[in-house]
Amino acid sequence: MASRENRRSVTYAPDIVDTGSSNESVFPSPETHTHTHTTTRGPRHGSHAAANIIAQLPSHQPFSDTHLTVSRARSLSHQSRSSLRRRSTMRTTLTRGPTSRVPTSGLGVDLVDSAVEVEDEEMNWRRRQTIKDMTTSLTLKKHFRDRLKSSPTTKLSGYEKWKLNRSVEWERFKVRFKDALSNLEVWRGSFKEVEGHFGTGIMSYFRFVKWIFFLNVYIAVITFCVITLPHLILEPHDFLATVAVTPSSSQQAGDNMTNVTMTTESLTTLTMTTVIVVIDNGTSSSNDTSGGTAALSGNTDYVGQAQECTLDYRVHLQNKSMNATPGDYILDFLQGTGFMEDTILFYGQYFNKTFLDKQTVYNMSLAYLLATAAYFLLSLILMVRSAAKGFQENLVTSGDRFFQYTNMVFTGWDYALASEKAGELKKKNLFQEIKNELEEERRAQRAATRTTGQKCRLYTVRVLSNILVVGILGGSFYGIFRVVDFSEKEITNRNTDDFVSLLLQYLPSITITLLNIIVPEIFNRIIMVEKYSPEFEIRLSLIRTVFLRLTSIGVLLVSIYVAIVSCRQKKCGNCNFPNDPYLCWETYVGQQIYKLVILDFLVVAGVTIFAEFPRKLLVTRFHKNKLMKLVGQQEFDIPKNVLDVVYTQTLCWLGAFFSPLIPAITVLKCFILFYLKKWSLMKNCIPASKPYRAARSNFFFMVVLLLGFAFTAVLPIGVCIGMIKPSQSCGPFRLYSAQNFVMYTTITNLVSTAPSEVQQAFYVFGSTVFHIPVVIVLSIAIYYNTAITSGHKKMMKLLEEQLALEGKDKQFLLNRVNEAIQRGELRASDTDVMASDSN
């Protein structure tokens, strides 16, 4: 059948066999590997025979008949399985031995001829798809492919053929799609630059920024198209005009209503006419200041309320921006007040649109809620997808310390490095790391185990430091709370627009930012005394810092909540303060978040430009100075920067509800941040001295992002939609439809207008009768998956042990054969498998 002289077997050249004595590494040339060579050469001593036999073991044969037919038979029986399995069987048959890249003729003959002669088209095509994974040279691959193409195949017909054609088309489409997609890839050159100089670890940060950038682009597109664009385009452009022809108000509307001029410049005339109209209609515009709605029997004039509140708000805004100076404009831009307040930046501007003639409504409230749900869902899906990829990797790796040294050596070198300096540094780092690990191990072996007294002391220290950490966190949260309170009161007391007022406005944000800078440093000092292992140390300090950052936003929100919701006096759904009534609390929240966003950007940019650059100049200029040596060169601190990005994104999610343009602002921020950080990295930083384990940490950061998403974005917005009454003077929800109107009521109103089957379905999905079984089923699924995973782990251990035992068996048998040959009971040629091979 197959030509024997073309088989390549890996043999040990005689010199190498002496494993103990000589250390020379011989590079065997292909000529010594011919088959005939080993049979004619007699054994010089027993180990030659051993080498002989080892060379003939099936696992060392790249293209042996039996091996091929066995695996081919296996693959044929698994025709319906995925090509992945076929790929692996292909691989084991074709790729043993380092010399298999050298092309020889006739190898293709082995592959095709030895098994079933004719296969169908689909098998042929699938085999061609797996040629990519062959670890041979390109010429050989071409050779195989041509052989596969030209080998006879049975033609398929009918359904099978159609299926095959679909698969082929789909593969082609995927390739074309990928090609087109690669045109859109941004920042490719920057990634290459960063990777070449600093390695893959730091590049993972920039990939993260790019991922966040695109996420924000999608969110911004959603909010713009669904909320802002219709608002800008569709008539009418003023809330009061819409109210004029809403059906609910038709019973009150006299003809006078329609005569009202709808320009915002003529505010006074507007006020006058509307007031007249309201009085004319004789409806009791429930204008009570005693906390909300009139005690009329379900016939309350929500429209009137909304109208009046809107007017009040407008007057208030007009008054405020009466004497605006240019300086005021800048302050307003930074604070989001004044002229900025009544723009599309904030929630307050939007309202339900009604076409004056056709009575159709662009239900802005519904659009608002649906857009929010859409971008939350999109973010969730993208995040889970990204985390799942990392999680799969984590599941396979069973703990970093286990293969510690092997990983250090075999995955230590970062192949992407391209600069001399980085290469030298990497070598130094590896050397240091290896030395440290060995030293650590020796020390641990030498030192006696910790005495009970020492252990006790260590644990006490740990408990105390944890209490201290909790105390510091609690203290900072209380501090934020007090500061917010204080700044509220001061602002309402002052009511002037000057720089001090600006400072007061920004006081909560500044406090939070300062705490975010100082407290992590304190945590770093504390964790040094706790003497954890390095991995755990990093994790723990990250967890603490993350906790601080996210809950500080939470505290801010809570304090705002307290200010908005729990006050005694309420007018138009807002709390009423003597001097500065929050006539629109949603806009107020939006402004706070806007300030946080701006401040965050300024701080990050400022620190980069004004702290890192001078530091580098100083350290390089005065590098002989002891103090400068202590400060040291700047290293790019990945965890801190990633947390910054997570913080930015959380603010974006939170703010998008109250200020639909914040995602666009965040897009801009990400863009500028990318280039700023890259510039700072290339100019100011040196490569890291400790290696950064990218895979594990990326998964961890995605988890942190998910946590921030769930607790600091979805939860507050959910509370806001479901439990707090919207204000009646601004926003798409100003028209109440019932006494206890919350934003979510829009949805229930919509459902109640749907056919009864839909309503029924809705009620079923919302009820507990549905939820409890779902929870039970999900819990069972989770438990089942956990059980499977632990089963796999056990299986892996078993297989490892089996592998070890098999290896030992092999050694044992080889030794016996060796002894037998030496004793003369067996001749070397008897062990020659090839001779006895029957064809």
Partner 1 sequence: MGGSDSKFDEQELEDYQELTYFTKKEILHVHKRFTQLAPDLVEVDKNATLPQDKIMMLPELRVNPFKDRICKVFSSSGDGSMSFEDFLDMMSVFSDNAPKNVKVEYAFRIYDFDEDDMISSNDLKEVIDRLTGEQRLGEEDMQQLIDNIFSEVDLDGDENLSYAEFEHVMSKAPDFTNSFRIRL
Q: Which of residues 313-352 bind partner 1 (CB under 8 A)?
A: none
* For helices 534-565 and 585-606, angle between their N-to-C axes, nearest 10 degrees: 150
H or E element in which residue 815 lies: helix 768-823
What's the rounded Cα separation, in Å, for the pair 688 and 793? 35
Annotate each residue in 809-828 with x if it binds partner 1 (CB under 8 A) or - if it does not, as one string: -xx-----------------
- Tell me the two tokens of residue 5: 């002289």
Total Cβ atoms within 10 A of residue 32: 13
Instruction: Give the number of residues in contact with partner 1, rule: CB under 8 A.
Output: 90
Binding residue (CB under 8 A) for partner 1 from 362, 526, 693, 832: 693
Binding segment (CB under 8 A) for partner 1, from list 297-305, 431-439, 534-542, 745-753: 431-439
Residue nearer to partner 1 on the CB measure, 801 or 837: 801
What's the min distance (Å) between Cβ of 415 and partner 1? 5
103 binds partner 1 (CB under 8 A): yes
What's the rounded Cα separation, in Å, for the pair 581 and 538? 47
CA atoms within 13 A on the CB side of 838: 0
Binding residue (CB under 8 A) for partner 1 from 5, 169, 280, 424: 424
What's the rounded Cα separation, in Å, for the pair 620 and 614? 10
- Tell me the two tokens of residue 503: 């400072």
Do 148 and 112 meet the contact criterion of CB atoms below 8 Å apart? yes
Binding segment (CB under 8 A) for partner 1, from list 530-538, 597-605, 760-768, 801-809: 801-809
Binding residue (CB under 8 A) for partner 1 from 209, 367, 515, 694: 694
806 binds partner 1 (CB under 8 A): yes
Residue nearer to partner 1 on the CB measure, 38 or 300: 38
What's the min distance (Å) between Cβ of 13 and partner 1? 9
397 binds partner 1 (CB under 8 A): yes
Binding segment (CB under 8 A) for partner 1, from list 352-360, 400-408, 667-675, 702-710: 400-408
Within positions 5 to 44, which residues make up the interface with partner 1, using CB under 8 A?
10, 12, 16, 19, 23, 25-28, 30
534 binds partner 1 (CB under 8 A): no
Q: Beta strand pairing status for 634-635 and 685-686?
A: parallel
What's the rounded Cα separation, in Å, for the pair 717 and 723? 10
What's the min distance (Å) between Cβ of 782 and partner 1? 24
CA distances from 499 to 250, 341, 396, 502, 580 (A): 49, 19, 57, 5, 18
Within positions 215 to 274, which residues make up the interface with partner 1, using CB under 8 A?
none
Within positions 162 to 221, which residues make up the interface with partner 1, using CB under 8 A?
175, 178-179, 182-183, 191-192, 195-196, 200
Residue nearer to partner 1 on the CB measure, 425 or 473: 425
Binding residue (CB under 8 A) for partner 1 from 160, 441, 498, 535: 441
- Tell me the two tokens of residue 496: 């002037």
415 binds partner 1 (CB under 8 A): yes
What's the rounded Cα separation, in Å, for the pair 114 and 97? 20
What's the min distance (Å) between Cβ of 95 and partner 1? 6
What's the min distance (Å) between Cβ of 535 and partner 1? 13
Within positions 134 to 153, which residues make up the interface with partner 1, using CB under 8 A?
135, 137-139, 141-142, 145
790 binds partner 1 (CB under 8 A): no
H or E element in which residue 638 lies: helix 638-658
637 binds partner 1 (CB under 8 A): no
Residue nearer to partner 1 on the CB measure, 170 or 431: 431
Binding residue (CB under 8 A) for partner 1 from 157, 282, 325, 402: 402
Binding residue (CB under 8 A) for partner 1 from 37, 41, 85, 128: 128
Residue where the block lists tokens 């510091």:
472
Do 352 and 743 meet the contact criterion of CB atoms below 8 Å apart? no
446 binds partner 1 (CB under 8 A): no
Residue nearer to partner 1 on the CB measure, 431 or 675: 431
633 binds partner 1 (CB under 8 A): no
Binding residue (CB under 8 A) for partner 1 from 413, 478, 610, 765: 413
Q: Exposed/middle/buried for 259, CB within 10 Å: 0-12, 13-18, 19+?
A: exposed
Which residue type does 658 have? F
* For helices 715-723 and 534-565, angle between their N-to-C axes, nearest 10 degrees: 20
Residue nearer to partner 1 on the CB measure, 410 or 499: 410
What's the min distance (Å) between Cβ of 800 and partner 1? 6
Binding residue (CB under 8 A) for partner 1 from 76, 260, 344, 430: 430
CA atoms within 13 A on the CB side of 402: 5
What's the min distance (Å) between Cβ of 706 and partner 1? 20
Binding segment (CB under 8 A) for partner 1, from list 264-272, 345-353, 435-443, 542-550: 435-443
102 binds partner 1 (CB under 8 A): yes
Total Cβ atoms within 10 A of residue 398: 11
What's the rounded Cα separation, in Å, for the pair 124 and 148? 7
Mark 333-370 as b/e (b = at least 16 C-beta within 10 Å).
ebbbbbebbbebbbbbbbbbbbeeeeeeebbbbbbbbb
Annotate each residue in 59-98 with x if it binds partner 1 (CB under 8 A) or - if it does not, as one string: -x---------------------------x--x---xxxx
Binding segment (CB under 8 A) for partner 1, from list 71-79, 219-227, 432-440, 612-620: 432-440
Binding residue (CB under 8 A) for partner 1 from 44, 81, 385, 435: 435
Residue nearer to partner 1 on the CB measure, 30 or 773: 30
Residue nearer to partner 1 on the CB measure, 151 or 256: 151
What's the rounded Cα separation, in Å, for the pair 44 and 42? 6
Binding segment (CB under 8 A) for partner 1, from list 128-136, 298-306, 462-470, 587-595: 128-136
Binding segment (CB under 8 A) for partner 1, from list 419-427, 516-524, 706-714, 747-755: 419-427
What's the min distance (Å) between Cβ of 382 and partner 1? 19
Q: For 184-301, where are the alpha helices, taking DSSP H only?
A: 188-198, 200-223, 229-233, 239-244, 255-258, 267-281
Annotate each residue in 491-520 with x if it binds partner 1 (CB under 8 A) or - if it does not, as one string: ------------------------------
Do 348 and 586 meet the contact criterion of CB atoms below 8 Å apart? yes
Do 308 and 275 meet the contact criterion of CB atoms below 8 Å apart? no
What's the min distance (Å) between Cβ of 564 and partner 1? 47
Do 150 and 108 meet the contact criterion of CB atoms below 8 Å apart? no
Residue where the block lists tokens 């999608």:
218
DSSP string, 554-596: HHHHHHHHHHHHS-S-EETTEE--SSS--S-HHHHHHHHHHHH
Within positions 580 to 609, which residues make up the interface with partner 1, using CB under 8 A?
none
What's the rounded Cα separation, in Å, for the pair 216 and 348? 22
99 binds partner 1 (CB under 8 A): yes
What's the min distance (Å) between Cβ of 121 and partner 1? 16
Do 217 and 667 meet the contact criterion of CB atoms below 8 Å apart? yes
Cβ partners under 8 Å of residue 721, min gap 6: 369, 372, 742, 743, 744
